[in-house]
Amino acid sequence: MLTYYIDEPLSPIEQQMVIEQINVISTDAAKQLIFKRIPDHIPTNESELSHTEIIKVFEDILVKLEIPIGVQSTFILPKGGLSWGMLLQIAFKNVSKFYPFVVQPWEMNADRIHKRREHILVTDINGAMPA
């Protein structure tokens, strides 16, 4: 299964956790994750672009990465990427016709410092959103 990331891919143990969760929540069995890096020169919260313009930038990036149409992919949320992560998920839907499985490897501790989760969370956004 194609798995897109921005800051870093998953460790082998994390990959296995993700595969197991996808196989529980999806009818399409995942056997392995194939990683493709999304360039890190993406719009940030400080960007003066509108949400629509940011989604268009993301769509162009995904097209250049040759994201397949009609196939659900996986997207690993980057550290600190929750604020614009939904915009990228909308771009996935617009380009591939599916929202991605969203992998959340990061959490914030009480001191507001990001740390790796002990148990990776996977959400089927496609199954949660209306068609």
Rounded to two decimals, what is the model's pTM? Answer: 0.87
Q: Which of 111, 131, 101 is nearest to 29 (CA)?
A: 101
> Contact at 8 Å (CB) between 6 and 42?
yes
**In this predicted model, what pLDDT tens digit does every residue of 65-91 receive, in sequence order?**
999 999 999 999 988 776 678 889 999
Q: What is the pLDDT of residue 44?
A: 62
**In this predicted model, what pLDDT tens digit does every residue of 44-68 receive, in sequence order?**
666 688 889 989 999 999 999 999 9
Enclosing domain of residue 117: 2-128
Tally of structural domains, the chain: 1
Beta strands in 1-131, from DSSP E residues, in sequence order = 2-5, 34-37, 74-76, 101-108, 114-124
The encoded tokens of residue 24 equal 């529980």
Q: How far apart, in whole angstroms, are the C-alpha atoms of residue 104 and residue 77?
A: 6
The encoded tokens of residue 65 equal 């990465």
For residue 1, how far is the Cα from the chain centroid?
A: 12
